[in-house]
Structure 1
Amino acid sequence: MTTEPVWETHPVTPDRFEDFADVVNRNRRATHCWCLSHRLTTAEITELGGDGPHQRELAMRALCEREHPPGVVTYLDGTPVGWCNIGPRSEIPRLHRSKLIRPTDDLPVWSIVCIVVRSGYRRRGVTRHLIDGAVNHAAAHGAPAVESHPVDPPGRMDLTMAFVGTRAMFERSGFEVVGTTDATASRMPRLTMRRTLAS
């Protein structure tokens, strides 16, 4: 008898920080990515994390204490296997101020800016559960819609580019193309895709 896998997605609150780190920075390298580039300036990282070698980790820990943590972690049978950086667009400064990825309208959307699947768990359906879990998290906090800005390349894409997703990946989770931005990735224009949530 085959047991069905158990999928769960939870916001990265302080008690789940180590699970988040297991996905994005398993070896806890101080200079490795902590998924801060869209959230904080260098000065803000220093303010939140001090000036020591682990300032990025400490800054990310501080973000996890806010009303809207900076994302969600997806678990497969209790093991953290995916990370999605999601939150109100207004709380993601690099995106909020972007002149290349402008808002489609005045709707206070939530935005997905990064997706990471833990090494060893790719091609197992993690991304679909991760996106759906992130959308459910946004809906539970009153988001009217969720947007993302993937590219739709004609050939194989570098899967290590975490911010870059494929159009089909989001379409499978109910997103529709609502525009094209002036930003590019892998030499292709980024789309604006949106999933409107029930009011």
Structure 2
Amino acid sequence: MTHLTIEPATADRFPDAERTMTGGGDGASCWCQWWMLAPKEFDALSREQRRDRLREDLAASVPSALIAYVDGDAAGWVKVSPRPDQPRLARTRNIQKSPEPMDDPTVWAITCFVVRREHRSQGVASALLDAAVDHARTSGARIVEGYPLDSDVKRFTSNELFHGTLSSFLAAGFTEVARPAAARPIVSLTL
């Protein structure tokens, strides 16, 4: 039986954040900066520069992400922070369909999951989702939103699933509040 723990992604855990990002998928190219930067700014940065920005992000007083450990091995990552702290969200047409004001710091967004290949299909992403909700709640969030993909409508690659799946969010108690595109719902959980 495996032992799963989840901890805040803090500056002293940067090596663990690196491990989660380099276990398959786009984590090592994005370094969880997609929602933090305008498209031109994101494209202008090298992978190394994005990695350095992540290191800076982990120094924040309130962690903006969590790391899952399976038997002590850094196995997964989830980004969860106030929506205004992820400025690309306000510029994304589909997400602008949210019923909540884009500049409300009490609305938190769960925007990115990364699970290393060897730890997939073991419940790591679901545990990260639950922990992200708890983290948002204890940090003062009023609402937590997610922007998952509906895999019942369309098949997605594992790289595209960094958003999470609709079924996982619904199982965690979220409710669909908008559907700006056929396979792209917006879900919300009032805390």
For normalisation by structure 1, the TM-score amounts to 0.80
Partner secondary structure for residue 163 of structure 1: helix
2:34 maps to which residue?
37
Report percent identity of matched pairs: 32
Q: CA deviation at 1:74?
A: 1.1
Partner secondary structure for residue 116 of structure 1: strand
Residue 132 of structure 1 is aligned with which of 100, 112, 130? 130
Gaps of 5+ in 2: none
- Residues 110, 53 of structure 1: CA spacing in aligned structure 2 closer, same or farther, 3 A cutoff? closer
Q: CA deviation at 1:15?
A: 0.7
Q: For 1:46-195, what aligned pairs fall within 5 Å after superposition?
A: 54-102=48-96, 103-106=98-101, 108-154=106-152, 156-181=155-180, 184=181, 188-195=182-189
Residues of 2 paired with 1:8 and 1:146: CA distance?
22
Partner secondary structure for residue 152 of structure 1: coil
Instruction: Answer whether contact 1:39 1:91 (CA < 8 A) is retained.
Output: yes
- Residues 150, 43 of structure 1: CA spacing in aligned structure 2 closer, same or farther, 3 A cutoff? closer
Q: CA deviation at 1:173?
A: 1.1
Residues of 1 paired with 2:42 and 2:151: CA distance?
34
Residues of 2 paired with 1:152 and 1:54: CA distance?
32
Q: CA deviation at 1:180?
A: 1.5
Gaps of 5+ in 1: none
Q: RMSD of aligned C-alpha atoms?
A: 2.6
Q: CA deviation at 1:44?
A: 8.0
Residues of 2 paired with 1:94 and 1:81: CA distance?
26
- Residues 194, 161 of structure 1: CA spacing in aligned structure 2 closer, same or farther, 3 A cutoff? same
- What is the aligned residue count? 183
Partner secondary structure for residue 32 of structure 1: helix
Partner secondary structure for residue 66 of structure 2: strand
What residue identity is the alignment partner of 2:87? P
Q: CA deviation at 1:45?
A: 9.3
Residues of 2 paired with 1:138 and 1:18: CA distance?
24
- Residues 26, 153 of structure 1: CA spacing in aligned structure 2 closer, same or farther, 3 A cutoff? closer
What residue identity is the alignment partner of 2:63? P
1:15 maps to which residue?
12
The superposition leaves residues 3-27 of structure 1 with CA deviations (integer Å, 9 ceiling, x where unpaired) of: 5x33222221111111111111259
Residues of 2 paired with 1:80 and 1:130: CA distance?
12
Instruction: Answer whether contact 2:23 2:116 (CA < 8 A) is retained.
Output: no
For normalisation by structure 2, the TM-score amounts to 0.83
